Amino acid sequence: MTYAEWITAYERRHEGKLLGRCREAATEMAAAFPELRIARGHATVLSWGIRGHWWLVAPNGAIVDPTKSQFPLVLDYEEWTPGDEVRVGKCMECGEEIWAALESLDEPPPHKTVCDENCERSFTSAVMGEG
């Protein structure tokens, strides 16, 4: 079985619903093809921006992404290394993306809802009905 055949079978098994299945798919495909190395990091997706993602790397360095079809168009893959920043939330006050440096991706990253003390004060006063 080729990589493409495996991916097609996986997509059919999940009826094309691949959003959020990248870790699962990468793990399953690596078990079927031990020469593939699991990679995790960020995919830059046309019109979606940067997204956390899991994929595989072939011995020749080629990207093998079993859930690539969930995206409109992947422009780039950037593998995560310890100390790199990951998206941990979006500020509920100003709308900016919130990023933090992590040493491990073994656990889900902490989730933040405000980017700094100023936004926290502003958001809290708005929620509490303060002027």
Reported as a single tens digit per residue, the pLDDT across 6-62 is: 999 999 999 989 888 999 999 999 999 999 999 988 899 998 888 889 999 999 999
Give the structural domain span for 126.
81-131
Look at residue 27 in the predicted model and tell me its pLDDT.
96
- In the chain, how many domains are there? 2
Measured in whole angstroms, the distance separating CA 52 from the mean position of its chain's CA atoms is 1
**pTM score of the predicted model:** 0.69
Considering the chain, what percentage of its residues have pLDDT values greater than 90?
Answer: 53
Based on the fold, state whether residues 42 and 66 are members of the same structural domain: yes
* Angstrom distances, CA of residue 63 to CA of 3, 8, 27, 86: 11, 16, 15, 21
Based on the fold, state whether residues 55 and 88 are members of the same structural domain: no
Judged on CB neighbours under 10 Å (0-12, 13-18, 19+), 123 is middle
Token couple for 76: 């780039």
DSSP state of 108: P
